[in-house]
């Protein structure tokens, strides 16, 4: 493990080991909390292998589904049945088979527009948390899963977009995406995502090496600014690992 600023970089061989390491970290966080657990999932392709692993007997039998709640860090503003919908992807791979419907908390994309959808989700998060202000002594989530896009975005917080500067609201609408799919988005903000015991990035493949190099060099990119008030872990496979970190 390489410790860099507040981040810990955990290197693994390949996407299979990455998914297993992420699943084991998730299980450890669930095991560490004997009350109500809150997991914030992510979209994109990076977490698919992890979600598939959570659907296997080796994992799903050990998850206390009755007391684990599943949220999503960002959503494409498309109907729940659309193949681009992030929560639909997680539901299809594992949630719908194991989690009680009342423990699955999708971003409601049936609202009139992304801002209204963001307000609804913020209210749902406020109600779940029991407060409208985040208390650093009581993280909102046990785990927040994250990915990084080719432009350095994370969740749907794009470089130089207003969402990046948000310090008060927990959820905001994003009228235009910076990368495909070019549909409006709804995203949790950096302070809401930071309110967790562990923020866990999954980064795999040589396509990610260039952007990861920029993020770890400390460029002012959303993914570089996303850190947890607890632990911030970057799980990186060999193909994505920047040159400067090889052999460390």
What residue ranges bind ligand 6PG (CB under 6 A)? 42-46, 74, 76, 86, 147-149, 153-156
Render the burial of 48-73: b for 16+ CB within 10 Å, e for the rest. bbbbebbeeeebeeebeeeebbbbbb
CB of 64 to ligand 6PG, least distance (A): 26
Closest CB to ligand 6PG among 33 and 227? 227
Contact at 8 Å (CB) between 121 and 108? yes
Residue listed under structure tokens 């999954």: 202
CB of 61 to ligand 6PG, least distance (A): 27
CB of 43 to ligand 6PG, least distance (A): 4
Closest CB to ligand 6PG among 31 and 182? 182
Q: What is the dihedral of CA 16, 104, 157, 93, to 10 degrees?
A: 30
Closest CB to ligand 6PG among 155 and 194? 155
Nearest 5°: phi and psi at 68?
Answer: -110, 130
Nearest 5°: phi and psi at 52?
Answer: -65, -35
Closest CB to ligand 6PG among 3 and 108? 108
CB of 204 to ligand 6PG, least distance (A): 9
């Amino acid at each position: 493990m390489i410790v860099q600023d507040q981040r810990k970089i955990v290197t693994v061989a390949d996407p299979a080991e990455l998914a297993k390491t992420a699943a084991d970290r998730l299980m450890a966080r669930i095991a560490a909390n004997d009350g109500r657990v809150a997991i914030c999932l992510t979209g994109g392709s990076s977490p698919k292998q992890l979600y598939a692993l959570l659907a296997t007997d080796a994992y799903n039998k050990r998850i206390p589904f009755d007391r684990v709640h599943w949220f999503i860090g960002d959503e494409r503003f498309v109907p729940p049945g659309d193949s681009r919908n992030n929560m639909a992807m997680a539901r299809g791979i594992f949630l719908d088979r194991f989690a009680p419907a009342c423990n699955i908390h999708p971003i409601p994309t049936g609202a009139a527009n992304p801002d209204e959808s963001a307000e609804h989700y913020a209210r749902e998060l406020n109600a779940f948390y029991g407060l409208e202000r985040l208390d650093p002594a009581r993280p909102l989530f046990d785990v927040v899963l994250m990915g990084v896009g080719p432009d350095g975005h994370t969740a749907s917080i794009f470089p130089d977009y207003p969402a990046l500067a948000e310090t008060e609201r927990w959820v905001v609408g994003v009228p235009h995406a910076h990368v495909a799919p070019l549909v409006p988005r709804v995203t949790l903000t950096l302070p809401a995502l930071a309110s967790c015991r562990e923020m866990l990035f999954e980064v795999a493949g040589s396509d990610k090496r260039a952007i990861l190099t920029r993020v770890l060099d400390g460029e002012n990119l959303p993914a570089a600014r996303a850190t947890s008030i607890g632990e911030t872990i970057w799980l990186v496979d060999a193909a994505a690992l920047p040159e400067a970190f090889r052999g460390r």
